Amino acid sequence: MLEAKTNLSKLVDAVESGRETEIILARNGKPVARIVPIEQPERRLGIAEGEFGTLDEEWFREWQALDEVIWKDVLDARWERFERHSRELEEKYGRKRNKSA
């Protein structure tokens, strides 16, 4: 027990790192306690795996084509707003320049 008390931090590190799966503490040669790692719930990535079909090369090509269509619409709308705004500025300030020239 005295040795465990003195080296508790090292013992916990050994269990935590996986170097030891468990450490048995004894008093007067009789086992009295066990240091074991606490089971952590497994954190899984991809918990929805298989829920949306196979994500293969064909799926990726379809996704890219759809992405291009979506962005084309967004960019076209922004370009139209830019052109409209440019025409409005030209009408507003272009006439004033012509009058002063």
- CA 52, CA 60: separation in Å to the nearest integer? 13
**Closest by Cα among 26, 24, 46, 48 to 35:** 24
Q: In sequence order, which ranges of the chain are alpha helices (DSSP H)?
A: 2-6, 8-17, 57-100
**pLDDT value, residue 47:** 72
Cα angle: 58, vertex 60, 61; to 5 degrees = 65
- Confidence (pTM): 0.39
The token duo for 37 is 């790692």
Which residues have a Cβ under 8 Å from the Cβ of 1 and sit 6 or more positions away?
Answer: 25, 26, 27
**Closest by Cα among 23, 28, 30, 29 to 4:** 23
Q: What is the pLDDT of residues 29-85, one digit of tens each?
A: 899 999 999 887 776 777 777 777 777 888 888 888 888 888 888 888 888 999 999
Question: Are 35 and 5 contacting, i.e. CB atoms less than 8 angstroms apart?
Answer: no
